[in-house]
Structure 1
Amino acid sequence: MSADIRVELPAGAPSPRAALLLDTKCTLGEGATWCAKTGRFYWTDIEGARLWRYDPSDGSSTSWPMTERLGTFALCADPDYLLLGLATHLAFFNPATGETQRIVDVEPGMNTRVNDGRCDRQGRFVFGTKDEGSPLQAVGGFYRLNHDLSLERLPLPAPAISNSIAFSPDGATMYYCDSPAREIRTCDYRADGSIANDRVFTALTDASGEPDGSAIDSDGGLWNAQWGGRRVVRYGPDGVETERVEVPTAQPSCVAFGGLPTGLPTGLPTGRPPARAELGTLYVTSARIGLDAAALADDPGAGGVFIATPARQGLPEPVFQGSPR
């Protein structure tokens, strides 16, 4: 399947404003993930129950239908597989064959679903859930899938909507949030998996927006997509905002650093050393869910993938080290 490709990054530099790259019109785009090994970008349309992949070398895109809503996923050390966080369970998925291997149910019997997730620096998959009820209640949890495929609940506050899971470059700090609380939290995260010193990292001060998906740059800064705020904000390791990127859509949802697509204006200043340019493009997913006809008319790129070129470098995404049985 292909999607419209519309790249209109301005000259001058580095870009403080994102531009529409892929007009995919995802209902709920999420899970921005760059595969450094293959040079491809992956994301999910949660409500569309579809996994997407974009190849910036030729502009092609591919998607796979899922048996359930796909809340999150991770790259695997085994290149034949991805780890899926489907609505009710975790599974391995082979994109080439369509084979799915169920691993474990998540919160069976509860009105919740799997939501945000990232691998820690040790290659374990850390993820959270969200409440499916109305009004939202903080009844979900944060979990870790270990290398041996055992699942454990982490001793963190229960979220209504888990998001912003990310890890510092040295792996010693974990970030996460409960989006409606409008703050991002952090904790000490030890190599043995133990957690301590849970605390507030930063609180949103803008009148609008909630923290959604995050990524870490090579300097240890956290880049957070802010749902309803039309922006991505970078916070330094001390929790202080250092810069932001305007996103021309109402609901940016997740971010990842990856490679520069082909077809950009010649000589586009990127503000980064050429040797590391493969992780200098910020990819931003977005959503259309909840927008009425009038809002969509004013927001034609909603549900698309956007890119910007900040003067920062990303880090290779850790991969899950467990294997299918």
Structure 2
Amino acid sequence: MNDVAGVAVLLQNELGEGIVWCEREQALYWTDIQASTLWRYRIDEGALDHWLLPERLGCFALCEVDGWLLLGLASRLAFFHPASQTLTPITEVEAQQPTRINDGACDRSGRFVFGTFHEPADGGARLPVGSFYRLNRNLSLERLSLPGVAISNSIAFSPGGERMYFCDSTTPVIRVCDYGDDCGATSEFARIDDAHGEPDGSIVDIAGGLWNAQWGLGRVVRYTPEGRLDSCIEVPASQPTRMALGGADRSTLYITSARLGLDARSLAAQPLAGSLFAAQVDVAGLPEPRFAGPPEHVIATASS
């Protein structure tokens, strides 16, 4: 397969990211990180909503309790109830580091795994001073035994949850490790074949294939569970960021994109950059894993 994605929602997101499909609402959620904004699109109604947050939103997860999201804000984790706009902080992350929360996803057991992103104050090279973490169901936070990271990305889990995919976008390699109570030895899963590209967000489909958005290359690709390049979908924007498999049968691939860093000439050449794109695929997605919270006192806060 080598298809071209079309526009699903015409937008100008500076850094659209983190898209997930909520089956219960038949809606897509995603973030524009630089605009500190959470977006929602109800596909049946064509209704588009957004919420401005107090700081940049790097990633998030659906919660088992309807109406709640777990947010990975730049400096902290928090629960958010869009209907009431209730924001309940959980914990700060890397408060003493020049980093922010970046990519994240729930594992198959309902725990939230995320990583951080180095933001050097002097604008210099990004260094692997960040880490990967897991927020457990009891809200305890643990650092995973994975290498340091400069730009965490590509966090995704195999259908059975026994493998975790991840990357540092400063290198062209997507890695994989055995996953359980801790992370086992890591190995190379796939490598981008073009020096102009970087691996960005990933998801796994029902057959165990890994979809990866390739920043700078205007494409999303699918790798087989063995790491073989299987198919490619071109995106009319050079900076695709993440995908979600949604729709009634979870066979529509929705793709966020970014305008970040593009000069006037580049924007003129790709006026759709920052939009939400879509393409039909042959392999359906998995139900989106949900965080197994929030705790009862958070639910009570919203209902009081």
TM range (shorter): over 0.9
Q: Which position in structure 2 is the counterpart of 1:278?
A: 249
> For 1:255 and 1:243, how far apart are their aligned partners in 2?
15
1:241-320 aligned at under 5 Å gives the runs 241-259=229-247, 278-320=249-291
Q: Which position in structure 2 is the counterpart of 1:208?
A: 196
Q: Deviations over 1:36-63 (max 9, x none)?
A: 1111001000001000000110111000
Task: Classify the secondary structure of the residue corresponding to 1:279.
Answer: coil
- The alignment's TM-score, normalised by the length of structure 2, stands at 0.95
Q: Deviations over 1:5-49 (max 9, x none)?
A: xxxxxxxxx771101111120000000100011110010000010
Q: Which position in structure 2 is the counterpart of 1:188?
A: 178
Structure 1 unaligned blocks of 5 or more: 1-13, 260-276
1:142 shift after superposition: 0.1
1:86-105 aligned at under 5 Å gives the runs 86-105=73-92
The answer to whether the 8 Å contact 1:15/1:310 transfers is no
Q: Which position in structure 2 is the counterpart of 1:272?
A: none
Q: Deviations over 1:227-278 (max 9, x none)?
A: 001000100111110111111101000011000xxxxxxxxxxxxxxxxx52
Are 1:82 and 2:69 counterparts?
yes
Are 1:113 and 2:100 counterparts?
yes
The answer to whether the 8 Å contact 2:145/2:182 transfers is no
Task: Classify the secondary structure of the residue corresponding to 1:122.
Answer: coil
Name whichever structure is richer in strand by fraction: 2
Are 1:163 and 2:153 counterparts?
yes
Task: Classify the secondary structure of the residue corresponding to 1:297.
Answer: helix
Q: Which position in structure 2 is the counterpart of 1:66?
A: 53
> For 1:161 and 1:243, how far apart are their aligned partners in 2?
25
The answer to whether the 8 Å contact 1:15/1:308 transfers is no
Structure 2 unaligned blocks of 5 or more: 298-304
> For 2:278 and 2:291, how far apart are their aligned partners in 1?
26
> For 1:169 and 1:220, how far apart are their aligned partners in 2?
6
The answer to whether the 8 Å contact 1:32/1:41 transfers is yes
Letter paired with 1:205: D
- The alignment's TM-score, normalised by the length of structure 1, stands at 0.89
The answer to whether the 8 Å contact 1:222/1:237 transfers is yes
1:80 shift after superposition: 2.4
Task: Classify the secondary structure of the residue corresponding to 2:282.
Answer: coil
Identical columns (%):
53
> For 1:19 and 1:215, how far apart are their aligned partners in 2?
19
* Closer/same/farther in 2, CA of residues 79 and 15 from structure 1, 3 Å limit: farther
Structure 1 residue corresponding to 2:139, chosen from 149, 156, 163: 149
Query: 4+ residue runs of structure 1 moved beyond 6 angstroms?
Result: none
The answer to whether the 8 Å contact 2:198/2:215 transfers is yes
> For 2:149 and 2:48, how far apart are their aligned partners in 1?
34
1:67 shift after superposition: 0.3
* Closer/same/farther in 2, CA of residues 15 and 204 from structure 1, 3 Å limit: closer
> For 2:245 and 2:62, how far apart are their aligned partners in 1?
15
> For 2:273 and 2:213, how far apart are their aligned partners in 1?
14
Q: Which position in structure 2 is the counterpart of 1:267?
A: none
> For 1:57 and 1:183, how far apart are their aligned partners in 2?
37
Q: Which position in structure 2 is the counterpart of 1:226?
A: 214
Task: Classify the secondary structure of the residue corresponding to 1:129.
Answer: strand
Task: Classify the secondary structure of the residue corresponding to 1:278.
Answer: coil
Letter paired with 1:150: S
